[in-house]
């Protein structure tokens, strides 16, 4: 007799926005998804051949991914805490890590392991697949961060960066903070030239296009929830002002 197929492990996905849908697309072959998002119409689930479920069912899975805005994370953590199983693994996918890590550490039951992640890509940059893209993985509680990283490498071909929430946010304040800030300014300056352009200008506008349609919550998290972003912005604007004033030296720190 042919052997029965091995059942896929259950995974709860809370949040079915743009990134939640990208995650579902790649996780569905490996997991039996339990997806909860009361703000998304049923048609969006049907497009992925999924049915929405209640919060309790999603939160009761052995692995739970929180794909919700940082601004609502504390509320979501409070809601799922009573329904999590002992030994469950909870991950988030937010653009900042210090504050989400603190929220999850304080609000989730002691018997739950926590790994904070930040996929350094979105639907635009992942449209050709995940292989070779980067993801930051931070241990918050428990010892499963390295195993999570190994699965992400093996199953999806991701370039895993094991780091801490603090180290992540320090670097992301420049890497993401400046990218999104400059993109916002350039979008506000439109219309910009499209015919007589240089290759470097085209690449800048290509970068703008990759973040142009990000939800406002993403920009807010990157610029306001990262504890190191304000200093990076200040230094950027100080140096830009010095350049506007004709200062010859740009190498030193802004005063």
Domain-located, residue 75: yes
Q: What is the pLDDT of residue 124?
A: 86
> The domain containing residue 101 runs over which residues?
10-163
Average pLDDT over residues 226-238: 97
Q: Is residue 120 part of a domain?
A: yes
Q: Are residues 17 and 76 in the same domain?
A: yes
pLDDT attached to residue 105: 98
177 shares a domain with 137 = no
Is there a single domain that holds both residue 24 and residue 81? yes
| Cβ 186 vs Cβ 192: under 8 Å | yes
**Residue 91's domain is classified under what CATH number?**
3.40.50.720
For residue 41, which of 52, 33, 30 has the smallest C-alpha distance? 52
Residue 45 has pLDDT above 60, yes or no: yes
DSSP state of 52: B
Does residue 189 sit in the same domain as residue 143? no
Which among 163, 183, 201 is the end of a domain?
Answer: 163
Report pLDDT for 169: 98
**pLDDT, tens digit, for every residue of 63-112?**
999 999 999 999 999 999 999 999 999 999 999 999 999 999 999 999 99
Under the banding of pLDDT at 50, 70 and 90, the label for residue 247 is low
pLDDT value at residue 255:
45
The residue among 109, 138, 163 that closes a domain is: 163
Q: What is the pLDDT of residues 166-202, one digit of tens each?
A: 999 999 999 999 999 999 999 999 999 999 999 999 9
Residues 119 and 220 in one domain: no
Which of the two residues, 196 and 247, has the higher pLDDT score?
196
Contact 36, 55 (CB under 8 A): yes
pLDDT of residue 216: 87
What's the pLDDT tens digit per position in 107-153? 999 999 999 999 999 998 999 999 999 999 999 999 999 999 999 99
Is 174 within the bounds of a domain?
yes
Look at residue 250 and tell me if it is in a domain: no
Same domain, 88 and 153: yes
Q: Are residue 111 and residue 26 in the same domain, yes or no?
A: yes
Q: In this structure, are 54 and 147 located in the same domain?
A: yes
Q: Which of 142, 96, 90 is nearest to 118 (CA)?
A: 96
DSSP three-state, residue 62: coil
The verdict on 153 and 212 lying in the same domain is no
């Amino acid at each position: 007799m042919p052997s029965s197929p091995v059942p896929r492990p259950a995974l709860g996905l809370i949040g079915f926005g743009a990134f939640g849908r990208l995650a579902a697309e790649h996780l569905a072959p490996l997991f039996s998804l339990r997806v909860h998002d009361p703000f998304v119409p049923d048609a969006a689930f049907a497009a992925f051949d999924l049915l929405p479920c209640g919060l309790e069912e999603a939160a009761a899975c052995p692995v739970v991914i929180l794909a919700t805005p940082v601004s609502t994370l504390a509320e979501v953590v409070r809601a799922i805490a009573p329904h999590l199983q002992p030994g469950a693994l909870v991950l988030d996918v937010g653009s900042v890590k210090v504050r989400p890590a603190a929220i999850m550490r304080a609000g989730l039951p002691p018997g739950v392991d926590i790994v904070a992640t930040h996929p350094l890509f979105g639907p635009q940059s992942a449209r050709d697949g995940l292989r070779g893209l980067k993801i930051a993985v931070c241990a918050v509680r428990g010892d499963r961060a390295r195993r999570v990283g190994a699965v992400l490498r093996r199953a999806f071909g991701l370039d895993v960066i094991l780091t801490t929430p603090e180290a992540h946010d320090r670097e992301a304040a420049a890497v993401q903070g400046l990218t999104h800030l400059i993109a916002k300014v350039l979008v506000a300056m439109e219309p910009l030239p499209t015919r007589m352009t240089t290759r470097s200008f085209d690449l800048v506008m290509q970068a703008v296009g990759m973040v142009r349609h990000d939800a406002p919550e993403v920009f807010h998290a990157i610029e306001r929830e990262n504890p190191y972003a304000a200093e990076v912005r200040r230094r950027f604007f100080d140096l830009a002002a010095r350049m506007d004033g004709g200062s010859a030296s740009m190498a030193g720190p802004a005063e």
